[in-house]
Chains A and B, each alone.
Chain A
Amino acid sequence: AQKVTQAQTEISVVEKEDVTLDCVYETRDTTYYLFWYKQPPSGELVFLIRRNSFDEQNEISGRYSWNFQKSTSSFNFTITASQVVDSAVYFCALSERGLAGTASKLTFGTGTRLQVTL
């Protein structure tokens, strides 16, 4: 069975600090997909990124970057120069590739609450 572990329950940083959110996953499949979602205090879930298991290139989007390492089964998320608006719960998720045309069932970690203060 697949599993996602986010060991950091809560992180507090001061604005402009860099912060890394850890995500470790377990799967027996060789083809799988990893995701990050953001849940701000308003409660909605916002999709941030999807990465497939064959693409280990790191990705950068503005202040956000993701480090995917298959060797350590990790998909970590770094926010550079954090801002108060980054305060949210962040979820890492894993989806195994099923048969073509089957549903994409995501398994989520328990989330990391990030608090950015002035």
Chain B
Amino acid sequence: DAGITQSPRHKVTETGTPVTLRCHQTENHRYMYWYRQDPGHGLRLIHYSYGVKDTDKGEVSDGYSVSRSKTEDFLLTLESATSSQTSVYFCAISAKRGDTGELFFGEGSRLTVL
């Protein structure tokens, strides 16, 4: 199993509050990703990182920010959560060659915004 840990695994919060999800890897992989999974949409890329302090936007980045201060941790922040951000969030890492490699996913974090 790829060494990926997401926390928290479940969270319920209220609209307007900030939320941070953490992804921790023990594989020393360069590339890390945040996806969200919603019914009827599959998985959609929010942000990704190609190195420490190097991040870029995915297709659904509005309302989200990320940070990567060290190789093993990739944080996803919702500055002011909205009900449309209720979703299951998956972190993923790439194998050694990021431009060809399959992604390995964490167990997911279920976020409910009331």
Contact = CB atoms under 8 A, between A and B. Distances in A.
Contacts, number: 70
Interface in B95-114: 98-105, 107-108
Given A101-B98, A103-B48, A47 B104 contact: yes
A5 to B, nearest CB: 10
A105 B108 contact: no
Nearest to B48: A103
A91 B102 contact: no
A101 B40 contact: no
Given A43-B108, A103-B48, A104-B94, A110 B40 contact: yes
Contacts of B99: 97-104
Given A43-B107, A45-B90, A102 B100 contact: no
A109 B37 CA distance: 11
- Which secondary structure dominates where chain A touches chain B? loop
B19 interface: no
A64 interface: no
A104 B94 CA distance: 7
Contacts of A101: 50, 98-99
Contact of A43 (B42, B88, B101, B104): B88
A111 B56 CA distance: 26
A40 B49 CA distance: 27
**Residue in B35, B58, B88, B98 with the greatest tally of chain A CB atoms within 10 Å:** B98
20 contacts: A4-B42, A6-B42, A43-B107, A44-B108, A45-B105, A47-B104, A50-B101, A50-B102, A52-B100, A91-B42, A93-B43, A95-B100, A98-B99, A99-B99, A102-B99, A103-B31, A103-B49, A105-B45, A106-B103, A110-B40
Given A45-B90, A91-B43, A95-B100, 6 more contacts: A47-B102, A91-B42, A97-B99, A102-B98, A104-B99, A106-B43
Interface of A: 4, 6, 33, 35, 37, 43-45, 47, 50, 52, 91, 93, 95, 97-111
